[in-house]
Each structure stands twice: as structure tokens, then as C-alpha cells.
Structure 1
């Protein structure tokens, strides 16, 4: 590894995936020619680009995991367990579909269990969750545990708090959208570095996945 003239070696940052995007899927509408969750994929791409610029993350490690991109034929439940066991920050995308998704509830439970393991080790510093507001929601529409999270920030601006990331894209506010996503990326890095959440054995999630209903599996 290269050293500077004072003999200091550059420190590598956290090399696990920074984020795990937890979102409620939009079903395909046969009458529409728009791919499902097209705008969410656009958000994911911009967030990934910003995180790669803000960190020293290796290009082979996903900056933000999005489960729709898993290869066909993969053991996808094992893949999800592995990602939830290694990612640094859970990023729930707040929407009505998230609140009714059994998969999103499962992802939350897995991540909370992992944080609890760190509490038991005495090394827990802060919650490693960065929620993002996807669609317009009144505070009373957001159920617990998501309502306990800070999902709007003064730096993100009033437009984001009013219409969410989906609204910014739909209304053509692309400059504001790009600014907010960059701010979210910065927040994810801040939380990842501050929390230093340690990886766990994916098998600690086995019982949670075993309890998932077949109907919920069809959702994914």
C-alpha cells in the first residue's frame, strides 16, 4: 500500500455494502407500458453513483443493494439474508406499499435483530437506519416503527417533505431531486461511519424467514 511522505497509510473505509433498500413493490399493470418501479430504479442508480463518489467503496461491492437485480436462479432467500447480515445501513422507502409488505416487515425485523446483537456486545452506538420519503404521506399515515424515525431533514427542503422523491420526479423537479438524493447519500455515509454496525451470521435470521407465508414469497 502506498504511503505519503510522512509515512501515513491511507485508511480504507467500510467495505460492506453501505445500504439495503427496503421497498414495497409496485405490481405490473398490463395496460401500462411503463416498467414497474421505474422511478425507484432511477433513484437507486443516482444514489449508487453518489455513494461511489463519496466513499472508497470497491466497484465490485454494491453501494446500495436492490433485490430486483439478483441473478435469475440464485438462492435468493440466502442472498437476502447475506445482504441483511452485512449491509451498513437499512434504507426503508416510506410508502403505503412498504407499510403493507410482509417482506419489508421481515427485512426490518432482521435488521433490528442484528442491531440488538450489537447492543448485547456493548458496542452499539446509534441506529443504522436512514428512511426516505417516497410518496406524500401525512404523519398519521405512517405506522410504527417507521413513525419513530426522522424521515425529513431541514437540509432536504420543503418540496421533499411535501411530495417525496416520487413527487419530485413526477413534477419534473430534477434539480431538487438530484440535490435531495445527494443529501441522502451523505446521510447514509454519516450513519454508516458512526454506527459501525458489525456483520452477523446470516443464520440468525433463519427462524424469521421460516415464518414467512407462501403468499408473501409470491410478492417477491
Structure 2
């Protein structure tokens, strides 16, 4: 392949943040139930802009913030799913039970990826970076998810990585001051992992045009 074939659409986000949308409970006052996800998105985006030196106006990431998201395959969502270079699913019990999240996963997993010229990656590293959002036992995950290398931060104080594994990012954000330092450190390491995937892998653009062809359960392509 030539260098030109490894080019990325300059209008494409670097990463796609895939999450299970929470909705207000019955009789609850209206509120943004996905506020913690948005906080992660903003913090991660800021770090990725810094690490990659993105020009003004270039999107670091994409997340679907439609009020009734998960029901409409918008042009913006299709473009992001088909052109982003890194896919970050926030793994939770709700995520694994969501047909919409399975579609987003499938849309990215169908795209062919390869190492960039001269790049090397650690064993198991791919442009799909599953993140522990709220704790799910690995044995209860479908194989398409459990066989992926989950994000695990390294080179941190000895108590931070276990705290992330036990609480998930949602838990760290829910612990207030007690979880804030761990959250900040974990998100910085996640941004570094995103930047590394962006530099080492290239994912061919493939915009999904037929929602009906996307899987609604977590299966590997070709299964």
C-alpha cells in the first residue's frame, strides 16, 4: 500500500466513544443522565488534542448526544463510525445488553485495519479499546468482547490501577474527591493509549449505509 492510502479524512474524529445511554427513571425530574459519560468525553478529548497536536476545528472524538439517542442512525454518527480511527466502548452490563451498542461495535469491527508503515504494536493491541465503565465479570462477557484486550492503565501509583479495575470509571467519578485523582490518572493513560493506536494502526473507511445489516448482538465478524 502507498502512503496516500493511509490518509485519514481530516474531518473525521480520532475516536468514537460508544456507551449505553441512560434514561430518566419514571417520575424522576428531567436531567442529563449521561453527564458522567460526557465528562469523560470532554477530558479525554482535551488530552487527545494535546497529545496529537490537532489543529483548531479538528474533532478529537465523537459521542452521540441525541436526546433520544440509540434509535436514529444519523449522518454524523454514520460518518464518525465509518471514519474514526479508534473505537472506545464503555463496557457495562447495560452496554452488553444494548442492541444499539452492538451495532456501533459491529460497524467499526467490520472495517479492515493494518499497522502503519514502520509501526509496531504490543501483542493484543488493536484500534478497539474496551474500557471498564462499570464493573462486569469477564466470564459474563460475550466472546467478541472478552477476547479483546481491555484497557488497563500502567506506570501509575500502585493503588490506582486496582481502584479502576474494582470501581470502573463510573465508580471513580461517583466517589467524588476520593476517586478524582485516580480518575485523572486513568483518563490520561487512556488518552496516551488512543494516541498510540492512532499512530500505529490505520483503519479503512467504511461508512455503514444499511442499519439492518449490522449485528444487534456482540459477535465477531464472520461468526
Q: TM-score range by the shorter chain?
A: 0.7 to 0.9
Match of 2:20 in 1: 24
Question: How many pairs align?
Answer: 189
Match of 1:9 in 2: none
SS at structure 2 position matched to 1:108 = helix
Whole-angstrom distance in 2 between the partners of 1:134 and 1:82: 25
Match of 2:205 in 1: 199
TM-score normalised by structure 2 residue count? 0.75
SS at structure 2 position matched to 1:61 = coil
Match of 1:158 in 2: 162
Q: Specify which of 149, 168, 174 is matched with residue 170 of structure 1.
A: 174
Whole-angstrom distance in 2 between the partners of 1:43 and 1:110: 22
Structure of greater Rg: 1
Given that 2:153 and 2:189 are in contact with CA atoms closer than 8 Å, whether structure 1 keeps it comes out as no
- Deviation of 1:14 after TM superposition, in Å, equals 8.3
Given that 1:13 and 1:56 are in contact with CA atoms closer than 8 Å, whether structure 2 keeps it comes out as no
Whole-angstrom distance in 2 between the partners of 1:129 and 1:212: 17
Q: CA RMSD in A?
A: 2.8
Consecutive unaligned residues in structure 1, runs of 5 or more: 1-11, 120-124, 214-220
Consecutive unaligned residues in structure 2, runs of 5 or more: 1-6, 115-120, 155-159, 216-223
Whole-angstrom distance in 2 between the partners of 1:176 and 1:128: 24
- 1:124-177 Cα deviation digits (max 9, x unpaired): x86311111101222122222111122142516110011100111111210110
TM-score normalised by structure 1 residue count? 0.76
Q: Specify which of 188, 191, 214 is matched with residue 182 of structure 1.
A: 188
| 2:60 is the counterpart of 1:63 | yes
Match of 2:47 in 1: 50
- Deviation of 1:34 after TM superposition, in Å, equals 4.4
Q: Aligned ranges for residues 93-112 of structure 1 at < 5 Å?
A: 93-112=90-109
SS at structure 1 position matched to 2:110 = helix
Match of 1:80 in 2: 77
Given that 1:13 and 1:55 are in contact with CA atoms closer than 8 Å, whether structure 2 keeps it comes out as no
Whole-angstrom distance in 2 between the partners of 1:187 and 1:211: 31
- Deviation of 1:206 after TM superposition, in Å, equals 2.1
Given that 2:88 and 2:128 are in contact with CA atoms closer than 8 Å, whether structure 1 keeps it comes out as yes
- 1:81-128 Cα deviation digits (max 9, x unpaired): 21111101010000111111111111111111112xx57xxxxx8631
Whole-angstrom distance in 1 between the partners of 2:181 and 2:19: 24
Given that 2:153 and 2:190 are in contact with CA atoms closer than 8 Å, whether structure 1 keeps it comes out as no
